Amino acid sequence: MKVLVIGNGGREHALAWKLKESQDVDEVYVAKGNGGTESFCENLDIDPKNIDELLKFAEDKKIDLTVVGPEDPLCMGIVDAFNKKGLKIFGPNKECARFEKSKEFTKKFLEKYSIPTAKYESFENYEDAIKGISNFGYPLVVKADGLCLGKGVTICENKEEAENALSKIFKDKIFGEEGSTVVVEEFLRGEEASVLCLVSNNKLFPLERAKDHKQIYDGDKGSNTGGVGTYSPVEASKELEKNLEKIYRQIENGLDSEKLSYSGILFIGFMIEKDKPKVLEFNVRFGDPETEVLMPRLDCDLFEILNRTIDGKLKKEDIKWKKETCLTVIMCSGGYPESYEKGKEITGLNDIDKDIIVFHNGTKKTDAIYTNGGRVLSVTALGNDLKEAREKAYKNVEKIKFDKAYFRKDIGIK
C-alpha cells in the first residue's frame, strides 16, 4: 500500500515513521517532508496547501491513504476534494474543520451543548469590543477568531493591555481577515492538558494523554511556543476521568445534533482546576509535539486504525499502548519563538544511542543536515518511568550540536 503524509514537521515525521512500520505499507511519500523523513520516505516538492497538486499526485500514484498533518489544508477543504474523487484521506471535512478555523464557532458549539468552557463574548469591531470588555474582570483573554499560527491569543492584565490587543487586531489588522472577529474570554486558572481523540463517525476515542510544555523557558516562563517538550502518559484521578468522559459524550451528542460528520482527530485543549476540566480550544489535527511521544508508545498498527477510523469501524480495543513512558525534548534555534536564523549545520546525529528516536521538526538535507525552522529536532526516549525517559533523552540531547541551539532543561520535571 502507498501512503501520503502531508506536512513538514516533527508530527509528520512521527506519523510517517509509525505508518512505515505497518506490514501493509510499502511506500510513504511526504509533502514536503524534511531532512528526517528523507531518510526513509520520498519527500515531494509540493506545498501542503496546494490541494490541486496533492490531488493530482494521489490520483496518478494511486495512493491508498492520505494523512493530513497541519490545519491549513483541512480548513481549505482537502478532505472534501479527495473524497469527491473517491480517494481515502484521514482528517475532518471542511465543515468540521471550522472547530479550528473559528474560535467563535467552537465557543457557540460548547455553549449550546453546555460543555464547560470560559465565559465569552464575540465582537466584530473595535468600538463594540471596547464597550464589551467592561463585562469582564482581569486578567481577560483576547483571541482573534481565525488561524493565526498560534499567535492569536493575548492574556491581558489590565484595560490598557486589552485595548492595545484589540487595537492591533481591529485597527492594525495584524492577522488580516483572520482577526475580523474577536473572542473575549474570562481567564481560567489551573493546569493545562490536552487530549487527542480519534473520531470515527462522530464517536470519540481518546488516546492516552500527553503533557505539552508551551512556554519557551524553564519553569513555564516566557513566550508561548508551539510546544517545546512533551511526555506521555499523564496520570489522572478517577474524578477527572469521570468528568472528561462526560465531556466526550457531550461532544458526541453535539456533533450528532448538528448533523456534522466528524472523522479524523479532535485535539481538545483543557484547563483543569481541582479535577474539573474546561475546554480551552479544539484543534482538528494531531498535536505537535504530542504526536512525537504518542507514536512511539502506540502498540498497534497505525495504518489499520486510521483506516478503521475513516470507515466508521474503530473500536476501543483496536487502540493499544506500550506501558513505557515516552518523553521528547525539542531542540530549537536560538531566538525562537521570535526571530531566529536557519541553515546551521547539525552534528552528532550519528552518535546518539540506538534506542533513541530523533524526529525532525525543521531540518533540511543537502550535503549535510541543516536547521530549517524554529523547532529543529525532537529527541525522544522511551523509559520504564518518567525519570528514565528524561535521563535518556537529555543524555542524547547533549550529543547533538548546532550553532545557537536552545532547549528547556526541565521537560518532565513536575
The binding track of 105-144 with respect to ligand AMP, each residue x by CB under 6 A or -, is: -------------x----------------------x-x-
Rounded CA separation 44/55 (Å): 13
Using the rule CB under 6 A, is 269 a contact of ligand AMP? yes
Using the rule CB under 6 A, is 187 a contact of ligand AMP? yes
**Least distance to ligand AMP, CB of residue 156, Å:** 11
Kindly state the cell numbers that stand for 293: 511521544
Residue number with CB closer to ligand AMP (118 or 255) = 118
Interaction partner, residue 118 (ligand AMP, ligand GLY, none; CB < 5-8 Å by kind):
ligand AMP
Interaction partner, residue 141 (ligand AMP, ligand GLY, none; CB < 5-8 Å by kind):
ligand AMP
Interaction partner, residue 22 (ligand GLY, ligand AMP, none; CB < 5-8 Å by kind):
none
**Least distance to ligand AMP, CB of residue 143, Å:** 6
**Least distance to ligand AMP, CB of residue 256, Å:** 25
**Least distance to ligand AMP, CB of residue 150, Å:** 6
**Least distance to ligand GLY, CB of residue 211, Å:** 10
Structural Rg of the chain based on CA atoms: 21
Interaction partner, residue 227 (ligand AMP, ligand GLY, none; CB < 5-8 Å by kind):
ligand GLY
Residue number with CB closer to ligand GLY (185 or 288) = 288
Using the rule CB under 6 A, is 227 a contact of ligand GLY? yes
Q: Which of 104, 178, 185, 212 binds ligand GLY (CB under 6 A)?
A: 212
Q: Are strands 2-7 and 27-32 parallel, antiparallel or unpaired?
A: parallel
Could you list the residues that contact ligand AMP (CB under 6 A)? 118, 141, 143, 153, 185, 187-188, 192, 214, 224, 269, 271, 280-281
